[in-house]
Amino acid sequence: MSTEFVDNDRKPVGYGRMLRKEDPRFVRGKGRFIDDVQLPGMLHLALLRAPIAHGRILGVDTTAAEAHPKVKLVVTGAMLAERGLAWMPTMSGDVQAVLATDKVRFQGQEVAFVVAEDRYAARDALELIDVEYEQLPAVANVRTALDPAAPVIRDDLAGKTDNHCFDWETGDRAATEAAFADADVVVSQDMVYPRVHPAPLETCGAVADYDAVDGGLTLWCTTQAPHAHRTLYALVSGLPEHMIRVISPDIGGGFGNKVPIYPGYVCAIVASLLTGEPVKWTEDRSENLTSTAFARDYIMHGELAATRDGRILAIRTRVLADHGAFNGVAAPTNYPAGFFGVFTGSYDIRAAYCAMTAVYTNKAPGGVAYSCSFRITEAVYLIERLVDCLAFELELDPVELRLANLLRPEQFPYTTRTGWVYDSGNYEATLREALRIADYDGLRREQRDKRARGELMGIGVSFFTEAVGAGPRRDMDIMGLGMADGAELRVHPTGKAVLRVSCQTQGQGHETTFAQIVAEEIGIPPADIKVVHGDTDQTPFGLGTYGSRSTSVSGAAAAMVARKVRDKARLIASAMLEISVADLVWDKGSFAVVGDPTSCVTIQDIAMHAHGTGELPDGVEGSLEAQVHYNPENLTYPNGAYICVVDVDPDTAVVTVRRFVAVDDCGTRINPMIIEGQVHRGLTDGVGMALMEMIAFDDDGNCLSGSLMDYLLPSALEVPDWQTGFTVTPSPHHPIGAKGVGESATVGSPPAVVNAVMDALKPYGLRHADMPLTPSRLWEAMRGNPQPPV
Amino acid sequence: MQLTMTVNGEEVTAEIEGRLLLVHFLRDHLALTGTHWGCDTSNCGACAVWLDGEPVKSCTVLTAMAAGHEVRTVEGLEQFGELDAIQRGFMECHGLQCGFCTPGMLMTARALLDLNPSPSEQEIREAISGQICRCTGYATIVRSVQWAAAEEAGARTSIIDAGTP
Ligand code: FES
Ligand code: FES
């Protein structure tokens, strides 16, 4: 294991800082996003959505809409039901209405659609549809969803008499209870991780183009998982899979929001089938915020057991999870709570137990989204907040408490009490690097001086461990599809290469990073390697991009396929140089005869030879290409230490994030510029979630956060100039040692911000207040009246 | 209604509905899809273009209001096959990830630099505070604008140097 602290900034044939290959099109405004797709004769689809959260549909009158001169088609749930298309499976074994038939179950639910000649006319016609509802009482409060008197939301499910969704538990209950019984100190804390929304800047959409002559369907779609979506469409629609082509064009941010299949996609397909024309559906911002995959919404009760001198013994938690009207979570089948099971965090804890109950409410479906690495965001928030609560009670410095309990390098691979096998890490070195960059002792001195003057300055620390790169197919699947990913590499005669991968970029820079991975392995410059992705006809099968699985799974596939090509190149080189394979040495980009560096052939020479007429070794076919399907042996475990510095205005309760230091260990670093960008993004998420963001509802289930005026996202004025650092502890089982970094900062930063604000408010005796720490909520908390968010 | 305006230096005449938003006119009628649409409430800035040299949110401008005026979009930044310094700055400093906010950011940043060739970090943050970026965390955008400012300061210096005997 190596830990180095130097960056690598050079023009690389392989790893190192390199400008992105995708940027020239974006800075010219030449990206091709979903709404940029224009096809001849294309029609526009608009969805009519429920104005209420819970109600029975008594009748839908579409006559006036159909009479609109520009309208081609109006479809209701009843019409879909006739074709058996009114319901579709979700990614977690539940069903979700495509268009409501019996009841509407959340405000914003899809009720009917119109297809018209242009987008304005389609919207106009929505106004002409008359739906009669019988309003039902709504279940808007997750805490009362299981009351016997609560109305049953999912009466579509046979025999359903309550709003219970599932129960789940992990860990050893008896051992944990014993550890708590023996402990000197127990801290317990209720905390809410509010419902938030990924809100990518580009909303969701699709263009469906069904060709009645050849029976083929082409679907351009904002999807992070084109192959998985295609299989699902085949299963739902009955169209043969090989006749469906899903193209994910440039995606304007995903963050998990573009993993699920939304009713709008299915409606666009149906509309194209029925009209015989291409049909475009794009949602507006309020549709995106009110109907597509939300994230979090966990109500947690956490407890830590510890010795008086600060040794953490055990952790216990109860969780109430709000899954909305349909269980639309996109998590591996065996993991209904995602990877929340890693809630023991980065510490050597002897016993752990979690019991979770998930319920239905009259809110939008979803659950796993927003760069959370399958619920690790919630898990890290829980433990990192609890550790600070413990430090508060024991009057210990939160850094000292962490240092005393962090896993030590020699403990890896480390099996947690909930069964996760952490692959590698050097946690103390990572935390100390963050302390060094931040000048932690200096900050504490500054804080002392400020406190003496009545100023409120806070320093918040968090340490996180993520589990990403799902996952081993023996254990992990989405709807029965194993979570492996393919890669295919062709080196053409002139030595230029095309790599085809099954993951899909939404801004992470795959076209650059993956070219660098291949370049590192076979010595062809990244500029000569084209990366093809996001098109099921053009790429091998695989499960796509979410849960930070691109570099950890597809990146591994890219390295493996390049090694396969290099192995073949070695055989061809031995024929070209007329020497045995054992006498060849590889020097990134060429094979040379041992001891005679002038006798050598480059990868480009070999590519030409492989396609030419020259002699090839026995059993070696022409061409220079290979394909692999990578099945991860284990997850990878990126980790990091974050330090946040805030000032709180005592008169207004406004929090200013003044500094933020993030030290990440994502294993082998491919392009440090891109890694830094990924970290910056997540830190901004963290500040947003901690201070501003919440999808709120009133008692009737009306969504109060349906626009960017109500759902606040950080602008350039709310975030500081980030300071980043890194350690490198490669993953031992990953082909290139890379661990993935896309979600690290979203996972690790919210507790750092909240810990900092609580630290600032220590003079008020405050130990915990729930996110979002908006001025008004914080003001209440400072006056001894902290409120859980609603 | 029929109207005429100048878009990226070229005169265009079109027959449109009076309620058509400028963002949709540019995208759907002129196929200038670099200008994006990201919200319904004038909050995100993905739609920013120039109207007579001033950045405006084209989702909040009726096409009819631009009649007789000059519009400049991201497609008009590149001149004679050469990228504007602000475009190069964004590439050099990783000022973009998904690229969806980028056209609006570029137009706003270009306007800032025309007004204030060496803005401070705070001035840059204020100038782009009407734009949302969900990907970058803004620090690299700030650096991109600073890069472009320095580049242009350098370019100006060398022009001055060349003209001085
Ligand atoms: S689309 Fe114009 S500000 Fe959002
Ligand atoms: S680069 Fe994606 S929104 Fe800014």
Quick: pLDDT tens for B60-91.
Answer: 999 999 999 999 999 999 999 999 999 999 99
- How far B124 CA lies from chain A's nearest CA (Å)? 9
In short, whether B45's Cβ falls inside 6 Å of ligand 1 is: yes
Dihedral angle computed from the Cα positions of residues B119, B123, B128 and B132, in that order, rounded to the nearest 10 degrees: 130
Q: Of B37, B96, B128, which has the smallest distance from its Cβ to A26's Cβ?
A: B96
Q: How far apart are the C-alpha atoms of A299 and A194, rounded to whole Å?
A: 8
Cross-chain Cβ contact A28/B74 below 8 Å? yes
Query: Residue A328 in 3-state DSSP?
Result: coil
- How far A250 CA lies from chain B's nearest CA (Å)? 8
Q: Whose CA is nearest to atom 3 of ligand 1?
A: B42
- Residue pair A658/A467 in contact (Cβ under 8 Å)? The answer is no
* Half-sphere exposure (Cβ direction) of A27: Cα atoms closer than 13 Å: 28
Cross-chain Cβ contact A27/B124 below 8 Å? no
Q: What is the DSSP letter of A262?
A: P
Alpha carbon of A504 to ligand 2 centroid (Å): 16
Residues of chain A with pLDDT under 50: 1-9
Cross-chain Cβ contact A253/B137 below 8 Å? no
Q: Inform me whether the pLDDT recorded for B165 exceeds 80.
A: no
Which of B26, B42, B62, B132 maximizes ligand 1 atoms within 8 Å of its Cβ, making it the mutation to test the pocket?
A: B42
Q: How far apart are the C-alpha atoms of A433 and A7, rounded to whole Å?
A: 14
Q: How far apart are the C-alpha atoms of A566 and A576, rounded to whole Å?
A: 15
Write the pLDDT tens digit of every residue in A290-310: 999 999 999 999 999 999 999
Alpha carbon of B97 to ligand 2 centroid (Å): 5
Q: Provide the chain A residues 92-121 that lie in CB contact (below 8 A) with chain B.
A: 118-120
- Residue pair A725/A167 in contact (Cβ under 8 Å)? The answer is no
Q: Inform me whether the pLDDT recorded for B38 exceeds 90.
A: yes
Q: How far apart are the C-alpha atoms of A678 and A680, rounded to whole Å?
A: 6
Q: Provide the chain A residues 618-677 that lie in CB contact (below 8 A) with chain B.
A: 673-674, 676-677
Q: What is the pLDDT of residue A9?
A: 45
Q: Of B37, B103, B137, which has the smallest distance from its Cβ to A29's Cβ?
A: B103
Q: Inform me whether the pLDDT recorded for B153 exceeds 90.
A: yes
A507/B contact by beta carbon, under 8 A: yes
Cross-chain Cβ contact A677/B126 below 8 Å? no
Cross-chain Cβ contact A252/B140 below 8 Å? no
Ramachandran angles phi, psi of A594, nearest 5°: -55, 130
B78/A contact by beta carbon, under 8 A: yes
Alpha carbon of A38 to ligand 2 centroid (Å): 23
B97/A contact by beta carbon, under 8 A: yes
Residues of chain A in contact with residue B121, where contact means CB-CB under 8 angstroms, are 721
In short, whether B130's Cβ falls inside 6 Å of ligand 1 is: no
Cross-chain Cβ contact B134/A255 below 8 Å? yes
Alpha helix segments (H runs only) across chain B: 22-24, 85-92, 102-115, 121-127, 139-163
Residues of chain A in contact with residue B30, where contact means CB-CB under 8 angstroms, are none
Residues of chain B in contact with residue A285, where contact means CB-CB under 8 angstroms, are 38-41, 44
Cross-chain Cβ contact A286/B40 below 8 Å? yes
Q: Could you give all domains of chain B from N- to C-terminal order, each with its CATH number?
A: 2-76 (3.10.20.30), 85-161 (1.10.150.120)
Please tell me whether the overall predicted TM-score, pTM, comes out greater than 0.90 for this model.
Answer: yes
Q: Give the DSSP H or E segment for A451.
A: helix A440-452
Cross-chain Cβ contact B100/A680 below 8 Å? no
Instruction: Record the tokens describing residue A449, joined without a space.
Output: 């001086």
Average pLDDT of chain B to the nearest whole number: 94
B62/A contact by beta carbon, under 8 A: no
Which of A201, A257, A285, A371 maximizes ligand 2 atoms within 8 Å of its Cβ, making it the mutation to test the pocket?
A: A201
Rg of chain A over Cα atoms, rounded to whole angstroms, equals 27
Q: How far apart are the C-alpha atoms of B148 and B139, rounded to whole Å?
A: 14
| Minimum CA–CA partner of B37 in chain A | A202
A19/B contact by beta carbon, under 8 A: yes
Backbone CA torsion sign across A81, A86, A88, A93: negative
ipTM: 0.96
Residues of chain A in contact with residue B103, where contact means CB-CB under 8 angstroms, are 29
Query: Residue A105 in 3-state DSSP?
Result: coil
Q: How far apart are the C-alpha atoms of A766 and A753, rounded to whole Å?
A: 15
Q: How far apart are the C-alpha atoms of B158 and B162, rounded to whole Å?
A: 6
Q: How far apart are the C-alpha atoms of A265 and A272, rounded to whole Å?
A: 11
Q: What is the pLDDT of residue A11?
A: 67
Residues 6+ apart with CB under 8 A from B115: none
Cross-chain Cβ contact B99/A31 below 8 Å? yes
Q: Could you give all domains of chain A from N- to C-terminal order, each with its CATH number?
A: 8-30+484-630 (3.30.365.10), 34-136+203-251+258-291 (3.90.1170.50), 381-469+635-782 (3.30.365.10)
Q: What is the DSSP letter of B21?
A: B
Q: Inform me whether the pLDDT recorded for B159 exceeds 70.
A: no
Q: Provide the chain A residues 676-695 that lie in CB contact (below 8 A) with chain B.
A: 676-677, 680-684
Alpha carbon of B118 to ligand 1 centroid (Å): 27
| Minimum CA–CA partner of A35 in chain B | B33
For A128-159, the DSSP string reads T-EEEEEE------GGGTTSTTSPPS-TTSTT
Residues of chain A in contact with residue B128, where contact means CB-CB under 8 angstroms, are 715-716
Q: How far apart are the C-alpha atoms of A312 and A166, rounded to whole Å?
A: 30
Which of B36, B43, B44, B136 maximizes ligand 2 atoms within 8 Å of its Cβ, making it the mutation to test the pocket?
A: B136
Alpha carbon of A507 to ligand 2 centroid (Å): 8
Burial group, residue B162, by CB count within 10 angstroms (0-12, 13-18, 19+): exposed
Question: Which of B83, B87, B75, B90 is closest to B136 using CA atoms?
Answer: B90
Q: Of A38, A201, A253, which has the smallest distance from its Cβ to B31's Cβ?
A: A38
A–B CB contacts, 8 A cutoff, strictly below = 181
CA distances from A516 to A19, A250, A523, A736, B124 (A): 11, 20, 9, 12, 33
Residue A285 CA, closest ligand 1 atom number: 4
Q: Terminus-to-terminus CA distance in chain B, angstroms? A: 57
Q: Of B17, B38, B137, which has the smallest distance from its Cβ to A120's Cβ?
A: B17
In short, whether B46's Cβ falls inside 6 Å of ligand 2 is: no
B27/A contact by beta carbon, under 8 A: yes
